Structures are given as C-alpha cells and as structure tokens.
Amino acid sequence: MFKVILTLFFLFQSLHAFLNTDNNYEKQLIALKNFDLPNTFLKDPIFISMKEDVEVYKTKHFLKTLENGEKFVPILQKMMQDASVPAEFLYLAMTESSFNPYSSSPANASGIWQFIPATAKRYGLVENAYVDDRRDPIKSTQAAISYLKRLHTMFGKWYLAALAYNCGEGTVSKAIAQAGTDDISVLLDETKKYLPKESRLYIRKILMMSVISNSTGFMLDNGSEYLLNRANNATFVKVEVKSGTALKDVSESIGVSVKELKAYNPHLKYLFTAPMGNKTYLYLPQDRQIAFSQNFDQTKEPEKYAIYTTKKGDALHKLAQHYGMSVKALMDLNALKSAALKPKMALVVPYGKAPIPTTNTSSSKSQKQVHIIRTGDTLQLVAKKYDISVASLLQANQKRNALVKVGERLVIPKN
C-alpha cells in the first residue's frame, strides 16, 4: 500500500512539474510576442546562460530587486496596459534601476526609468529645489510610456524601442543601416558588434527578468510565491494636501512612520511638500486612505519651509537671527550636530521670508526690499505694512491689478 501511495505521489509531482514547465513556456512565448521577438530567441545561448546565472548564483539579489518594486509594480503595470505598451517594459525599469527610485548614474540619470535631465524636461518632468519628478513612480512612468510609444512609432518594433531607450535612437538607426536589417539575431551579433556591448545584453536582460519573474517554479523553489500575486496586493493612492505639508503630520494621522511615508514619495527631496502654490499631492499606502480622510486636518495651515543654500561667509547664528529662530531651533530643524557651515549646504528655513541678500557689486543702499506673499496677505495690507500707497506698489511691480498669490515676490519701493 505504501509503495502505491509513494508511486502516486511521485507521479503527481512529475505531472505538476510538467504542467508548471509547460505553463512557464507559454508565458515565455507571450513575452517574446509582446516584444515582437521570434520564438527562436529562447535558444539564444547568452540569454540561456544569463537565465541560469540568476537561477543558480544571483537568486537573492534578483528577489530583492523584485521586492523593491512590489509597492509600485501593480499600478505601473495597469498604466502600461491601459496605454497598450507591453508590461514587460517594467523589466526595462528593473534593468535600469533595480526598481530603486533613488538610483542615479554618472550621466545624472535618475529614478526607476533613469531619465537624464534633458529627456526628463522634454517629457514634462520637473526638477527643482523641492521635488524631482524623475523619482515620482507615476509621473516618470507616464513619461516613459510617452517616450517608448514614440520610439515604437519610429522603429516599428518593441525590441527596437527598448534598444533605442538604452543606447539612443541614432545608435539603433546606424546599427540597422550597417546590418542591412532590423533582425534581432543580426543586430546582436557578437562578432560584427553593430550595437554596444551593454545594448547587446540589454534586451536579453529584460526578457530574462520577465521570464524569471513569471516563473512559478522559480518562485516556489525560493519561497517567494507571494511575488506572483503582487498584482493583487494593496499598493498606494494619491491624495491632495496643502503645499508645504510636513510628512510628520500626515504620518501621525495615518499611523505609519515618516520613513515609510517617504518611501511612497521618493520625488520629495525633503520631509515636506513643495511650499509654492496652494495644493499639491502625496502618495499613501492604499489601506491608509480612510485613516487619512478621517484623521488628517485639511483645514489647518501648515508651517511652510524653504531651502537656503549657504555661501561663503555665512554663520549659523546670523542665519538664525535673520529667520527669527534660535540657533538651537535651526540646528534641530536641520539635524545639525555642529554649527559650522560649509558653502553650498542646503538648509531648511522658514518659508516666506526673503533670503539674506548677497553683498557683491551693489551697495546695501541700492538693494531692493522684497516682500514674499504669505497666506492672508493682500496688496492693501502689504502697502499699509510698508507705509506706501497701493498705486506705487502696483507700479513698482508692473501689476495691472491688486491680485496676489502665496509665494509671489513684491518689490517694495522706497518712500
């Protein structure tokens, strides 16, 4: 009886392995089709060796990379699906940055899609003193989708769009011209070297990551089957907040640490939202949305902060005096262990007070006094504060009406 049971057990295991392998093979064929690649690509020896290398030697690193993208992947996957871009391109992001939004390169590329400043600007991604949209998972993916669709229109095949994303449109066009074809097996020829070595490995890496990531057997063997269901996991939601909102206030209202909340908002350079304008946004864990709507006080005006870049000759006690703070308060705000300052240090300071004027070619008498509009300010109140007429204030700032907005800088004319 025992032998019969044992025989049935091994028969079941063999059947399960067969079905599992067959299922994975079908997934691999789908991935190839989505990339416009021929089925023969699965027999590419370099691709096979890379896949085996991950399965045998680099499992921990590979699974860690998958975990990095766990909170982002489900939403980004849907964005790409809705845009009719192959979801396999998520593994392009995995290849570029290991799903690390803080990843950067010597060429100053940043974010999970590794946009350089010029390309980022072309696709509407903002980078300033307070935010870097290249690290925003949603905005950067929207930009990547636009870029990839443009490349697909240009070259007609998704694998060529992926190659162009890596090494540039000109390099791919030149390679096709030299090879006389856009056939992938020719373009990746290791002898002719139509493409740079990194690019020749690039498409193989993306496909390898797609295949391994969707391999039931690989995940089960490494106790990571939960990653197969990541599309069903709770991820994050976008909520509106006032500009200048401190992450600490939001984190306390929803019951998560500031560190965890910051992990959902890698586009923020500091622990507060950009102070300009009236409204902005934050990403929250999806399961904290109700807590936010119930507990976070949206009527409260946040204490806003700005960034001051130190220059030669600055002293902490003078900065503290200028911004109406004690030295200790300024040090605490910036987590400084020493009062010593170096040029080009970024200091968090109260928002709405004009920065210390630089004393260079112009004398202090000729420097203009500036008032930065804060919440509640009106042109009439500003004129009254400086004992000048509204007309002179309008004229000095070349304004046609008395409307002002928070953050606006007004030159105060001399009496």
Q: What is the dotted CATH code of the domain comprising 234-295?
A: 3.10.350
Assigned token pair, 349: 């300071």
Asked whether the predicted pLDDT for residue 222 surpasses 70, the reply is: no
Compute the distance between CA of residue 79 and CA of residue 236 in angstroms, rounded to an integer. 14
> In this structure, what is the dihedral angle of CA atoms 254, 259, 261, 264, given to the nearest 10 degrees?
-160
Which two structure tokens, joined as six digits, stand for 383?
A: 């004129």
Question: What confidence tens digit (pLDDT) does each residue in 65-84 have?
Answer: 777 787 888 888 889 989 99
C-alpha 89/C-alpha 207 separation (Å) is 9
CA 174 vs. chain centroid, Å, equals: 31
Q: Which of 39-53, 258-272, 391-405 has the least mean pLDDT? A: 391-405
In the predicted model, what is the mean pLDDT of residues 18-34?
Answer: 70
CATH number for 304-355 (one of 1.10.10.10, 3.40.50.1370, 3.50.50.60, 3.10.350.10): it is: 3.10.350.10
Within 69-156, residue ranges assigned H as helices are 73-82, 90-97, 117-122, 137-155
Look at residue 226 in the predicted model and tell me its pLDDT. 47
Q: What pLDDT does residue 159 have?
A: 95
Predicted confidence (pLDDT) at residue 338 exceeds the cutoff of 80? yes
Mean pLDDT of the chain: 83
Choose the most confident range, by mean pLDDT, from 206-220, 357-371, 372-386.
Answer: 372-386
CA 8 to chain centre: 51
Q: Residue 58's pLDDT is what? A: 63
Name every residue whose Cβ is closer than 8 Å to that of residue 127 and which is 6 or more positions away in sequence: 117, 120, 133, 134
Would you say the CATH fold of 234-295 matches that of 19-231?
no
Give the chain's length. 415
Pick the CATH number of 357-415 from 3.50.50.60, 1.10.10.10, 3.10.350.10, 3.20.20.100: 3.10.350.10
Q: At 5, is the pLDDT very low, low, confident or very high (cuts 50, 70, 90)?
A: very low
Dist CA 371 CA 383 (whole Å)? 10
User: What does the domain layout of the chain look like in residue ranges?
Assistant: 19-231, 234-295, 304-355, 357-415
Inter-residue contact 72 to 112 (CB < 8 Å): yes
Mean pLDDT of 275-282: 92
Q: Is 99 left (phi over 0), alpha (psi -120 to 50) or beta?
A: left
Kindly indicate the confidence band of residue 215, based on its pLDDT and cuts at 50, 70 and 90: low
The gap from C-alpha 341 to its chain's centroid, in whole angstroms, comes to 30
Give residues with Cβ within 8 angstroms of 371, minimum separation 6. Answer: 354, 382, 385, 386, 409, 410, 412
Q: pLDDT grade, residue 221 (50/70/90)?
A: low
pLDDT at 321: 87
Q: With bands split at pLDDT 50, 70 and 90, how would you rate the model's confidence at 10?
A: very low
The answer on pLDDT for 126 being more than 90 is yes
Looking at residue 257, its pLDDT comes to 96
- Min mean pLDDT across 4-18, 190-204, 280-294 is at 4-18
pLDDT of 280 strictly over 90:
yes
Q: Range with the lowest mean pLDDT among 138-152, 300-314, 376-390?
A: 376-390
19-231 under CATH 1.10.530.10, yes or no: yes
Distance in angstroms (rounded) separating the CA atoms of residues 52 and 205: 12
Rounded CA separation 227/209 (Å)? 13
- φ/ψ of 372, rounded to 5, equals -100, 125
pLDDT tier at 399, thresholds 50, 70, 90: confident
pLDDT of 217: 64
Query: Is residue 3 very low, low, confident or very high in pLDDT (cuts 50, 70, 90)?
Result: very low
What's the half-sphere exposure (Cβ side, CA atoms, 13 Å) at 23?
A: 11
